[in-house]
Amino acid sequence: MGLQETIKAVYDKDTDLKTTLDERMKAKPFNKQAMAIRLTLTALAILTLYGFATFDYKDIQLLDAVYSMAITVKTMFFQPSINHFTFGDGLKQVSITLGLAFLTTLFGSFVALFLSLLAARNLSDPRLSIVIKGGVAFIRAVPTVLWVLIFAVAAGLGSVAAVIGMTFHSVSYLVKAYSESFEELDKGVIEALKASGANWWQIVFQAVIPSSVTYLISWTFMRFEINFAVAVAMGAAAGAGGIGYDMFMASSFYYDVREIGAITYFILVFAILLEIMAGRIKKKLKVHD
C-alpha cells in the first residue's frame, strides 16, 4: 500500500469515527421530564425575582448595605484579633469541638456498621433492609439541631445532648453510605463463599468488610468533617461549648467582628488539617490494597 492510499485509509477511518460520534452526541428529544425541570427552574427564578422586588427593605439603601457589608468583611478577615480570650484558650476550645466531633463519629460509625450490614440487600432480608433504610431516611430528614434540642429535653442543653443528637444523625448518614458500599460487592463472591460453607459472619469479615474498607474510611472521615462543622454550630445553638460558643459570644454579645475573623481562621486551619490527614490515610490504604 502506497503512502497516498495509507493516508486516505486513515482519513476515511477518522471520518467514520467522527460521523459515529456526531450521531451519538445528538441531543435527546424533548421529553416530559426535561420540560418539568425547566418549568420548575423557571418558576423558582420568577419567585426569586418577585421576592426581591416585593421585599420590605424599609429605609435600607441597597448600595449602602453592600458597601457596609464589604467593610465588615474586610475588617473581619484582614484585621483579625483576639480580645476576649488567649491563643491557648482558642486552641483549647477548638480541641473541645474536635472532641465532640470525634465522639459522635466514633459512636455513630460503630452503630452504623452493624445496622448497615442488616440494611444491605445482598446481606440481609429484603424486608428488614427496607425497614432500616426507611427509619434512617426519616432520621436523616430531620436537621441535626432539632435532634439535639429533642434530646436536650431529657439531658438538658449541653455537650451530652449535643453528642447524642449528633450521633443519632451520624448513624443515619453512615448507614446509608456503608450499606451502599456493601451492595456494590460482586454477588458472585458471596455466592461462592456460601457454596463453600461459609456462614454469615465469615462472609462479612472475610469478604464484605475487607473489600469495602477504603470506602468505609472515606465515608467515616467525610462524616467526621461534617460533625466538626456541626459541632461548631451546636456550641452556639445548644450550649455545647467549644469554639462555636466563643463565636456566638463574639457575634451576639460583644459584636466584635475582628474576633469573629480570628475564630473563623482557627476553624479553617483545623478543617484543612483534617482534610490533609484524611487524604494521607486514604492514600496509605490504597497503597496497601
Domains of the chain, first to last: 3-76 (no CATH), 82-288 (1.10.3720.10)
Q: How confident is the model over 91-109, as pLDDT tens digits?
A: 888 888 888 899 999 999 9
| C-beta of residue 249 within 8 angstroms of C-beta of residue 259 | no
Amino acid letter, 211: S
Burial group, residue 152, by CB count within 10 angstroms (0-12, 13-18, 19+): buried
Q: Which residues contact 112 (CB under 8 A, 6 or more apart)?
A: 170, 171, 173, 174, 175, 178
- Rounded CA-CA distance 164/4 in Å is 76
pLDDT tens string 229-261: 888 888 777 667 788 888 888 887 878 888 888
pLDDT, tens digit, 9 for 90 and up, residues 17-70: 455 545 554 555 557 778 888 899 999 999 998 887 787 777 777 788 888 889
Three cell numbers at 89?
Answer: 484558650
Of 165, 175, 180, nearest to 135 by C-alpha is 175
pTM listed for this prediction: 0.73
